[in-house]
Structures are given as structure tokens and as C-alpha cells.
């Protein structure tokens, strides 16, 4: 006898399986990543619903003999239609999905569910490529925290001096002009004085400010913080480096979509 289950999920990918069937990869709130077989021809109602980035209630039938899932129904609650018309949105979402799968949701499906869905829903609202890039930066930085490998951006790892003083997000904040130096071997940041002379990666003061804000402010508040295109480009490449190190392998989306991302 098969067992029926209901989960909240979002479609990450759909791949052909035989002539008329397909394998659907879901990220679910309850079980993380799972794959379900979807039966039916190309004009079936279910195939029109189970499209990448659609999210909602997933109805599954599990075979007790073969331990696999069959997709019985999918009640879509949220569509992300703009992804089909915007390459940066679709590639950013694909990169986030690849990271989820490679890290097995960082071993923490509930936290990943919150961060990933916030990222996908936020991408849908982005009106410019620059906003998409900042959304990706915020997702990568938060995901590093879930993985437990996010370096401390609040103070210098050598002298202990904070990179900023005052209240974050307000006019009273004062940031060190030299930015921060990332030590690859220690996965930590040092101020420009302590990190001088080391062959490490350097983030400017604007990048330090942005990461600090993302770490301490709510997603709604951090979305309002502006950032120059130059700093965003620098920070994006830095986070690509960190996330690939955390995943332990090259990411296909970064290799094939670098000109887009």
C-alpha cells in the first residue's frame, strides 16, 4: 500500500523521464530536497502547474515497495512569472537551487526554507538587474551563516577593533575607511592595519557596511540600503568564492552563467 503525504514545496527543476513522464525536483519545508515522478502527457494539467519556481501545496503518493514518490497534485500558491523573461532572475534562482542540492539544505531545512523562499519571492519583486544582484548577495551571505562558515564581519580578528561604531543603519555609524582584509587560511576579517602585507582578499568599506547591515538588520530593512555597482560586483565575486569553498566543488551555474550573473 502506498502512503499519501502533503508538503509545502517549490519546484526547482523538471526533467523528462521517458516519453510522457517527468522527474520533478522539489524543495520542501518538511523534508528538504525530494524527487517525484510526474505522469502524463505534455498537455496534462499537472505538467502545466509543476513548472520551475512555482510554489504551493504538494500532494504525494509514496510507494512502500520502491520508496519513491509520485506527484498526485500540486496546488500552486505563488507563481514567479518574471523569471521566464529575465535571465539574471532565472540564473540567480538556479544558482541558489544548486547550492541547496549540493549542501543538502545545509542540514537545516527549516532555516533554508525561510531564506530561500524569501530570496525567490524578493527576486520576483526586483525591477532592475542591480536589485537582483543585491538580492543574490544577501542570499549567499545568509546561506553561509546557515552553513556555519560565515566569517565575522563585525570586528577585526586580530586586534578586536570593530569595523564600525555607533548604531548600524543610522547616520551615527562610522566605518573604518580601509575596509577589511579577508584571511583565506583563517576564514576571518582583519582591519587594513592588521591585514597589511598579507596576500588576501580586500573588501572596501562600503562592502563591509553592507554585509554588516545584512547580518544585523531585518530583510526588509537591508533591502533599502543602496550600494554602488562597483562594490556590488566586488562583493558578488567574493561571495562566489566563499560559497564554492563551502560547497567543496565548482558550481555549474557559476561556470556556465558567469557572463549573466
- pLDDT the model gives residue 175: 47
> Starting from the edge strand earliest in sequence, which strands make up the sheet with 180-183, in order?
188-191, 180-183, 201-203
- C-alpha 49/C-alpha 93 separation (Å) is 18
- pLDDT the model gives residue 10: 98
- C-alpha 88/C-alpha 94 separation (Å) is 10
Element (H, E) at 215: helix 205-216
Nearest C-alpha neighbor of 202 from the set 240, 231, 175, 174:
231
Q: What is the pTM of this model?
A: 0.91
Q: Supply the CATH number for residue 216's domain.
A: 1.20.1440.120
Select from 25, 59, 79 the last residue of a domain: 79
Q: Are both 109 and 152 inside the same structural domain?
A: yes
- pLDDT the model gives residue 171: 44
- pLDDT the model gives residue 177: 52
Low-confidence ranges of the chain (pLDDT < 70): 1-2, 64-66, 165-178, 197-200
Q: Are both 46 and 15 inside the same structural domain?
A: yes
Q: Are both 224 and 140 inside the same structural domain?
A: yes
User: Which residue range(s) make up the domain with 88?
Assistant: 82-261
State the virtual CA torsion across 91, 92, 98, 103 in degrees, nearest 10.
170
- pLDDT mean across residues, the chain: 89
What is the total count of domains within the chain?
2
Map grid coordinates 565575522 to a residue.
152
- pLDDT the model gives residue 170: 46
Q: Are both 121 and 47 inside the same structural domain?
A: no
- pLDDT the model gives residue 147: 96
Q: Supply the CATH number for residue 49's domain.
A: 2.40.50.140
- pLDDT the model gives residue 173: 41
Select from 49, 79, 109 the last residue of a domain: 79
Select from 64, 79, 94 the last residue of a domain: 79
- pLDDT the model gives residue 172: 42
Neighbours of 162 (CB within 10 A): 14
Amino acid at each position: 500500500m502506498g502512503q499519501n503525504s502533503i508538503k509545502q514545496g517549490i519546484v526547482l527543476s523538471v526533467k523528462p523521464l521517458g516519453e510522457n513522464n517527468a522527474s520533478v525536483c522539489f524543495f520542501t519545508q518538511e523534508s528538504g530536497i525530494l524527487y517525484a515522478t510526474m505522469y502524463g502527457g505534455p498537455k496534462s494539467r499537472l505538467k502545466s502547474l509543476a513548472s520551475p519556481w512555482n510554489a504551493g501545496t504538494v500532494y504525494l503518493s509514496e510507494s512502500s515497495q520502491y520508496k519513491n514518490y509520485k506527484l498526485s497534485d500540486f496546488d500552486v500558491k505563488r507563481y514567479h512569472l518574471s523569471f521566464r523573461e529575465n535571465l539574471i532572475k532565472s540564473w540567480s534562482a538556479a544558482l541558489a537551487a544548486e547550492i541547496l542540492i549540493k549542501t543538502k539544505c545545509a542540514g537545516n531545512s527549516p532555516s533554508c526554507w525561510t531564506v530561500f523562499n524569501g530570496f525567490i519571492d524578493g527576486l520576483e519583486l526586483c525591477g532592475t538587474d542591480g536589485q537582483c544582484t543585491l538580492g543574490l548577495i544577501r542570499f549567499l551571505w545568509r546561506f553561509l551563516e546557515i552553513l556555519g562558515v560565515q566569517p565575522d564581519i563585525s570586528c577585526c580578528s586580530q586586534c578586536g577593533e570593530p569595523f564600525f561604531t555607533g548604531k548600524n543603519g543610522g547616520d551615527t555609524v562610522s566605518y573604518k575607511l580601509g575596509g577589511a582584509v579577508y584571511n583565506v587560511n583563517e576564514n576571518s576579517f582583519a582591519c587594513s592595519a592588521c591585514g597589511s602585507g598579507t596576500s588576501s582578499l580586500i573588501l572596501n568599506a562600503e562592502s563591509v557596511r553592507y554585509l554588516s547591515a545584512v547580518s544585523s538588520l531585518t530583510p526588509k530593512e537591508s533591502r533599502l540600503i543602496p550600494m554602488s555597482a562597483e562594490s556590488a560586483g566586488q562583493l558578488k565575486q567574493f561571495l562566489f568564492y566563499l560559497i564554492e569553498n563551502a560547497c567543496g566543488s565548482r558550481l555549474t551555474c557559476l561556470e556556465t552563467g558567469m557572463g549573466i550573473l
